[in-house]
Amino acid sequence: MRTHGERPPRPEDPFAEAAAAARRELVREIAAGGDLQDPAWRAAFEEVPRHLFVPYFYTGGGAAPCSSAAESSGEGGYERLWCEDADPDRRRRWLEGAYLDRPLATRVRDGDLVSSASQPSLMAGMLHALELRDGDAVLEIGAGTGYNAALLSHRLGDDRVTTVDLDEDITEAARAHLAAAGYHPAVVTGDGARGCPGRAPFDAVVATCAVSSVPPAWPAQCRPGARILAPLSTGLVRLRVRDAGHAEGRFLRTSAFFVPLRGATPPAPVVHTGGLPRRATDNELFRFLLTLTAGSLDPHEAYSLWQRERRPARERFGVTVSGEHQWAWLDDPEGPYAWPLGARG
């Protein structure tokens, strides 16, 4: 197993020196926010070269078109920055962007974002929330660029990390990025909602894509006591697994917005806000409640609950998985406020 201080062998990297300086600044910024208190995770962020995982990314999109045809990717107004651009200024912008504490659009299809690299500080918070220990085996749902799998591999060792994605193009690219950085976890092409039974059991499951309910395969492939961390509604729910059919936990304080999980999983509910006061629809915590309870409460019922409970924060909400049933709740899993998750009309 790789120790935290070892730098994995890598091919010659023309950006190594500038990237190392940018990486140090990124780590200082994340640490200042309190998300790198664990020395093992700080070492991972200091060592893993994020730029090798984003050889290109897209900026803009959805708003004004790019300023010229030469700068446009032709994908919904996104501008593509990449490491081999002939223009040195654009290469500089690419490298600087790779080490900013922000998400990066990495795959655009027919003008729609289908894959992205998550914001590093959010990744640090999620990794910390997993409460990993030496020897733990982790399943990541959503390979993305491979960067998160590299951080996990740095902390745990390649043989303890499995990352799954539905899109073969994504897994092939992630595998190549990981190899270029000196990491070799298991990269599997498949439906993340089905987990990865051939690599189970796991001590933790972390999803880097949003779900509307917890796929039953995830707790079923975990050891008792395992942690599951997944984006749901606009938050992050952390569950503790009791056994193959039972898990329970609360939402973290932070907000989180991820590309939806594709595959055998129910679609996210459609939320309508017509007729609600703007002070509610503009409030991010109310939108979290509205999405979480969609299909169970109409928007006006959700608004009444929000007022009655004095605008409850995310950490007052939780999720319980029990056999074929799972539900979200406020304050108490057996209390008066509970809403089924899963397929909704």
Torsion of CA 287, 291, 294, 296, to 10 degrees: -80
Q: What is the mean pLDDT of residues 48-65?
A: 79
CA 150, CA 10: separation in Å to the nearest integer?
A: 13
CA 183, CA 43: separation in Å to the nearest integer?
A: 15
pLDDT digits (tens, 9 = 90+) for 285-336: 999 999 999 889 999 999 999 999 999 999 999 999 999 999 999 999 999 9
- Check residue 123 and give its pLDDT: 96
- Check residue 146 and give its pLDDT: 97
- Check residue 78 and give its pLDDT: 79
pLDDT digits (tens, 9 = 90+) for 232-275: 999 999 999 999 999 999 999 999 988 888 765 555 566 666 67
Residues 6+ apart with CB under 8 A from 207: 140, 141, 142, 192, 229, 230, 231, 258, 261
- Give the three-class secondary structure for 322: strand
Q: Which of 118, 121, 153, 212 is catalytic?
A: 118
- Give the three-class secondary structure for 225: strand
Q: What are phi and psi of 129, to 5 degrees?
A: -65, -20
Tallying the residues shown for the chain, one arrives at 345
User: What residue ranges of the chain are covered by domains with CATH 3.40.50.150?
Assistant: 117-255
Of the ranges 14-23, 99-108, 274-283, which one carries the lowest mean pLDDT score?
Answer: 274-283
Q: What is the mean pLDDT of residues 13-35?
A: 94
Active site residue 115: no
- Check residue 14 and give its pLDDT: 86
Angle at CA of residue 102, ends 290 and 46, nearest 5°: 125
Residue of 274 and 170 predicted with greater confidence: 170
CA 313, CA 316: separation in Å to the nearest integer?
A: 6
Q: What is the mean pLDDT of residues 222-226?
A: 98
- Check residue 66 and give its pLDDT: 29
Residue 146 token pair: 């491979």
pLDDT at 208 over 50: yes
Q: What are phi and psi of 255, to 5 degrees?
A: -85, 160
pLDDT at 72 over 60: no
Q: What is the mean pLDDT of residues 119-135?
A: 96
User: Is the Cα torsion angle 281, 266, 342, 296 positive or negative in sign?
Assistant: positive
Residue of 72 and 223 predicted with greater confidence: 223
* Domain 117-255: assigned CATH number: 3.40.50.150
